[in-house]
A and B are shown apart, each in its own frame.
Chain A
Amino acid sequence: MDYLTLLSVLDGTVRTAAPLVLAALAGLFAERSGVVDIGLEGKMLAGAFAAAAAASVTGSPWLGLLAAVGAGILLSMVHAYATVTHHGNQVVSGMAINILVAGLTPTLAFAWFQQGGQTPILQSGERFESIALPLADTLGGAVPVLGPLYREVISGHNILVYAAALAVPAAAWVVYRSRFGLRLRAVGENPSAVDTAGISVAGLRYQALVICGALTGAAGAYLSTAQGAGFVRDMTAGMGYLALAALIFGKWRPAPTLFACLLFALADAVQIRLQGVAIPGIGIIPVQFIQMLPYVLTVLLLAGFVGKAVAPKASGIPYVKER
């Protein structure tokens, strides 16, 4: 593999990692507050649909992003109402949201746009376009090795990729350095202690889920208004679950989660590269086997490397005051 091929694989990795990172950070806030969120997939899908629909109607990707964030938060509030207010089963609630959205998005697209469950294809002004960072072309030609790396991998992405990159240190700061983060971690480990300190457990969990909804919405908006040009049904294709796996693999910490996302994205980028390429000694691997690579990797990683990952202690358990 020559250097430019390697760079294009890395470029693909960054593109695929961006929505994974946003969704995994969303899951991080939810699970750190003690609420398991398997509904990341559904919220991303809802975000993707809302963004594409709003961008198509208004002509602005920013309004699309706003709609996506709104849709994500709305679904998060459904999850919070079921699991925090009514102590419902968190996995069931998340699954319900996934199934609901999987049905709702094509239904609404079908009824509103009459294009067989899709939104209209977005024109160039209605999408987030790639941004060339300053001096990308100059440096790319002039500086060896690092120049092309800067031009191909670091420059030339849309604003949401850079937002996802910034979201990681921001999340780390919030979780580890802010007062909200301290309380967030506490409520995920020992909610009754937080309750005793006079802080509302439910309130904190609602706040965490608002952040979670906003981030998943943005992740969905990335899929339909930045990476793609419109909504197609089931366009998340398991990405929400992969994000959840990355979160577990990253042991519920922002930086390791980022690397887990990059690893999954790399598997995906390599997967695209490998399609139809003959590997010495093996021959051409059927495309379906390459496509299952990220999923197999997830199973292997969860089985082998993480083993007994220590989740936030209260995660998955509804908090009832008089227990």
Chain B
Amino acid sequence: MASGTTATGIGKGFGQPGEVPGWVNNALLPVLNLVAALVVSSLVILAIGENPLAAMEVLLYGSFGYPEAIGFTLYYATNFIFTGLAVSVAFHCGLFNIGGEGQAYIGGLAIGLVGLAFGGMPWPVVAAVAIVAGALGGAAWAYIPAYLQAKRGSHIVITTIMFNFIAASIMTYLLVDVLIAPGQQSPESRQFDQSTWLPFMHEALGRVGIEIPNSPLNLSFVWALACCALVWVFVWHTRWGYEIRTVGQNERAAVYAGISPSRNIILAMAISGALAAFVGLNEVLGVHHRLILGFTGGVGFVGIAVALMGRNHPVGIVLAALLFGALYQGGSELAFEFPTINREMVVVIQGLVILFAGALENLFKARIEALFRRTVRRPAAAG
């Protein structure tokens, strides 16, 4: 068995050593779970009375089939990278942050206020201030549930959910009664000065001579990729990241090692909230150029699926965010093409992906591992 192990490279992956190669755990199983989710989604489409294969084709073409669509897909993916990273940082500390929605909302509020206040300033200054302000806003909104979990033992899942509702109420109040543009009916703030707008990707690349079609994709995407790198460094290459992971793995062991769980719970949640807040950078400063009601649109919840699919690793999260970005963009195309399908179909697929990739992650695991051990043992026995 020992020779077989070295010959096939078993034990070199991230998974349980000596069992299956890493790519099975990190690529094959997520893909299998995704396929299962898509199969069940097809059943839903059948129940509506449409052809699932035709629907999948529209979904695929609508998300990647032409250059503009790719821009839209990447624009949606930007949001999901932020919320996926947010959920994953909390996950590393053993926390389930369902409050990404509220944190993105309040963080976006801070970013919007910067946009309103810094009119006339050049966009790089505004973007830098907005990133700091948004991070502080999101972190502050995550701090309270984190503090209550760490010091008072109130369940973070419940408190973050409540904070989503509270954030929604506050934002409705602010946009209806306070920030609403004078003489306007719909609850939204006045438009920011054009100088503060985050450049769209087609503008930014156009300046250096690269022509791409117009889409809402903006420079936030670059910041999202930068955040991936920052999170990777933070979680795996700093002392703080190490402490957070230790608390997440085994709180009691962390205490024995002199690591304070409550301090790390608060730290992880604050970072998580800050990351979620950058959704506001993409939506408020990058696309809408004003504060509008409900600009988060459920992306905080999608972050859960993205983090689960991406195995809480930045590279995986980028891939999973691309998948969900494609689902969103393809989904709107789907709703456009099929009169009986509406936009909520995407939410159905999302829920199924969370179910299969997260809750049912063990569905195929045992069988695949058994299959692997059998196929690996056979050549070893023959030789």
Contacts and interface: CB of A to CB of B under 8 A. Distances in A.
Interface of A: 38, 78, 81-83, 86-93, 95-104, 106-108, 110-111, 117, 233, 238, 241, 244-245, 248, 286, 288-289, 291-292, 295-296, 298-299, 302-304, 306-309
Given A89-B359, A107-B44, A288-B176, A302 B155 contact: yes
Nearest to A244: B158
A278 to B, nearest CB: 16
A102 B351 contact: yes
A299 B152 CA distance: 11
A277 to B, nearest CB: 17
Interface of B: 44, 47-49, 96, 98, 148, 152-155, 157-159, 161-163, 165-166, 169-170, 172-173, 176-177, 301, 304, 308, 340-342, 344-352, 354-355, 358-363
Nearest to A308: B153
B49 A97 contact: no
Classify the secondary structure of B's interface with A.
helix
B358 A303 contact: no
A104 B359 CA distance: 18
Contact of A106 (B169, B342, B361, B363): B342
Given A86-B362, A99-B350, A111-B48, A91 B172 contact: no
B155 to A, nearest CB: 7
29 contacts: A83-B359, A88-B358, A89-B359, A91-B96, A92-B96, A92-B354, A92-B359, A93-B358, A93-B359, A93-B360, A96-B352, A103-B345, A107-B44, A107-B347, A108-B47, A110-B342, A111-B49, A244-B158, A245-B158, A248-B155, A286-B177, A291-B169, A295-B166, A299-B162, A299-B166, A302-B152, A303-B159, A307-B152, A309-B153
Given A99-B351, A307-B152, A38 B359 contact: no
Nearest to B152: A303
Contacts of A99: 301, 347, 350-351, 354
Contact of B359 (A82, A299, A302): A82
Given A38-B157, A87-B362, A288 B173 contact: yes
Nearest to B161: A241
B162 A298 contact: yes
B315 to A, nearest CB: 21
B48 to A, nearest CB: 4
Contacts of A241: 158, 161-162
A100 B348 contact: yes
A295 B144 CA distance: 14
A32 B177 CA distance: 45
A97 B355 contact: yes
Nearest to A309: B153
Contact of A86 (B159, B161, B172, B360): B360
Contacts of B344: 102-104, 106-107, 110, 117, 233
Contacts of A100: 347-348, 351-352, 354-355
Given A99-B347, A107-B44, 18 more contacts: A86-B363, A89-B358, A93-B360, A97-B351, A99-B354, A100-B347, A102-B344, A103-B344, A103-B345, A111-B49, A289-B169, A295-B165, A295-B169, A298-B162, A299-B148, A299-B162, A302-B158, A303-B154
Contacts of B162: 241, 245, 295-296, 298-299
A95 B173 contact: no
A131 B44 CA distance: 39
A108 B344 CA distance: 10
Given A110-B344, A302-B154, A78 B148 contact: no
B351 to A, nearest CB: 3
A276 to B, nearest CB: 14
Given A108-B47, A117-B342, A292 B169 contact: yes
Given A88-B358, A104-B44, A288 B172 contact: yes
A310 to B, nearest CB: 10
Nearest to B172: A288
Nearest to A240: B161
B140 to A, nearest CB: 15
B154 A95 contact: no
A288 B175 CA distance: 11
A78 B152 CA distance: 33
A93 B158 contact: no
A89 B358 CA distance: 7
A299 B348 contact: no
Contacts of A110: 340-342, 344
B342 A82 contact: no
A289 B174 CA distance: 11
Contacts of A96: 351-352, 354-355, 358-359
B106 to A, nearest CB: 13
B198 to A, nearest CB: 29
A296 B163 CA distance: 8
A248 B351 CA distance: 26
Contacts of A78: 355
A56 to B, nearest CB: 18
B173 to A, nearest CB: 4
Contacts of A98: 351
B352 A107 contact: no
Contacts of B161: 238, 241
Contacts of A93: 355, 358-360
